[in-house]
Amino acid sequence: MGKSDSILGFKLMSLSFKIRDLFLPRINVLNEVGIKPGSTVLDYGCGSGSYILPLSSLIGVSGKIFALDIHPLAIKSTLDISTKNELKNVKTIQSNCATGLPDQSVDVVLLYDTYHGLDNPYEVLQEINRILKPEGILSFSDHHMKDDEIMEKITQNNLFKILRKNKKTYTLSKST
């Protein structure tokens, strides 16, 4: 895929997310997670930044948002949202796996519609496990995968266990 294909693909994805968000606001998904004011949240595979504004309203000024994506336009889009809305507690990370965050430093990781496309899914789950606090939560959904496939792939290496299946997401905790 060439650079222009990648740019066009990202812009089409961003447009489709804006339309989706009109009918299915992201705050409805986030309300399933139980994010509290002051939380540190990693949006792993942040895409166009659809979750940044609703996340910022949940965590407040004392919380932190880390937005990670491999695509430079995702990082730019997230930075643009943060700047436009004067969000001082949003940091971006351009990476395909490593977060660079300290061990056990994150309360919640959002892994939404990303897992199916990962080049190194086990390494990503290891990284998420490493950075989550002992009582941390992995909130997972991937509409490209069936429920039984999700349960198998996310729990097969004993890094996470499913606490509950919500309407739109799974809530998982660390197994180790």
The CATH number covering residue 45 comes to: 3.40.50.150
Predicted local distance difference test score (pLDDT) of residue 165 = 95
pTM: 0.89
Predicted local distance difference test score (pLDDT) of residue 26 = 76
Domain that holds residue 90: 26-174
Question: In this structure, is residue 21 part of a structural domain?
Answer: no
At 112, the amino acid letter reads: Y
Question: In this structure, is residue 142 part of a structural domain?
Answer: yes
Buried b (16+ CB within 10 A) or exposed e, 48-67: bbbbbbbbbebbeeebbbbb
Q: What is the pLDDT of residues 94-111, one digit of tens each?
A: 999 999 999 999 999 999
Tokens linked to 133: 């606090």
**What average pLDDT values come out for the chain (176 residues) when binned by 10 residues?**
57 60 75 96 94 96 97 94 96 96 98 92 97 98 91 92 94 90
Question: In this structure, is residue 17 part of a structural domain?
Answer: no
Number of domains composing the chain: 1
Question: In this structure, is residue 1 part of a structural domain?
Answer: no
Predicted local distance difference test score (pLDDT) of residue 18 = 59
Predicted local distance difference test score (pLDDT) of residue 106 = 98
For the chain, give percent helix, strand, coil, nearest 5: 40, 25, 35
Question: In this structure, is residue 90 part of a structural domain?
Answer: yes
